[in-house]
């Protein structure tokens, strides 16, 4: 899929077609996403997201186990938080039941992707179509990267710190990752993140 570096302005307008919330999409979840979704659903621990089969682990870069949304399989693959509604115009639209605050960062940012280099301490942002035929990519709506980064400042920071923990965990067994993803919903997220950073000497 074609990727374009973004400096500031980019053109995009989601039409809520729902394509990127169904099919063979792999939606990666970060540590704070797990926490906020579990809190939203009234769970006492993020572990319930796994036992309820809403989230599963897949092995990604450098052998790290990463959580992804476990799409429902029938009648077709779709995200468990996708809601389809037929409007008065008879068009079927897809909405996210976690919108706007509790959906994963990657969904909030789409079609913007983040490329972070922890070694160099640099990052860049790219425009990448969520699906091959995403109709939002041809909608002429002006968006600003600086506005998005300001709105998502805390979540972007949490994600970078999550990446730093993953880097430290390279080569560890799956059990260690399962432990990492077990958060207590009654304890503030940042406190748990700081405890993990101490444990991994970051």
Q: What residue ranges bind ligand SF4 (CB under 6 A)?
A: 14-21, 27, 69, 79, 81-82, 94, 96, 98, 103-104, 107, 110, 130-131, 134-136
Least distance (Å) from ligand SF4 to the CB of residue 91?
12
Which segments of 12-130 does DSSP mark as H helices, in order?
Answer: 31-40, 47-51, 105-109
As measured in angstroms, the least distance from the Cβ of 194 to ligand SF4 is 27
| Nearest-approach distance from CB 156 to ligand SF4, in angstroms | 17
Q: Is the dihedral of CA 34, 38, 39, 43 positive or negative?
A: negative
8 Å CB contact between 46 and 181: yes
Closest CB to ligand SF4 among residues 68, 164: 68
Pairing assessment for the beta strands 112-117 and 9-11 based on DSSP bridges? unpaired
Q: How far is CA 63 from the centre of its chain?
A: 19
Question: CB-wise, 27 or 166, nearer to ligand SF4?
Answer: 27
- In the complex, the smallest distance separating the C-beta of residue 96 from ligand SF4, rounded to whole angstroms, is 3
Residue whose CB is less far from ligand SF4, 31 or 69:
69
Closest CA to 166 of 16, 2, 45, 30: 30
Task: Provide, rounded to whole angstroms, the least separation between the CB of residue 25 and ligand SF4.
Answer: 7
Phi and psi torsions of 10, nearest 5°: -150, 155
Pick between residue 145 and residue 164 the one whose CB is nearest to ligand SF4.
145
The β-bridge partners of 3 are 128
Give the nearer residue to ligand SF4 in terms of CB position, either 64 or 82.
Answer: 82
């Amino acid at each position: 899929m074609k990727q374009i570096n973004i400096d500031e302005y980019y053109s995009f307008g989601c039409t809520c077609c729902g394509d990127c919330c169904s099919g063979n999409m792999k939606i990666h979840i970060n540590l704070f996403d797990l926490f906020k979704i579990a809190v939203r659903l009234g769970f006492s621990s993020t572990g319930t997201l796994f036992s309820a089969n809403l989230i599963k682990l897949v092995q990604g870069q450098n052998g790290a186990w990463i959580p992804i949304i476990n799409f429902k399989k029938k009648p077709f693959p779709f995200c468990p938080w996708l809601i389809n509604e037929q409007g008065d115009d008879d068009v079927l639209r897809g909405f996210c039941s976690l919108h706007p605050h509790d959906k994963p960062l990657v969904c909030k940012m789409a079609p913007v992707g983040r490329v972070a280099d922890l070694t160099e301490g640099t990052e860049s942002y790219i425009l990448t179509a969520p699906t091959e035929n995403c109709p939002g990519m041809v909608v002429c709506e002006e968006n600003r990267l600086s506005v998005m980064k300001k709105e998502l400042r805390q979540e972007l920071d949490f994600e970078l710190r999550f990446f730093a923990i993953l880097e430290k965990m390279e080569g560890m067994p799956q059990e260690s990752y399962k432990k990492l993803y077990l958060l207590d919903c009654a304890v503030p997220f940042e406190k748990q993140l700081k405890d993990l950073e101490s444990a991994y000497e970051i």
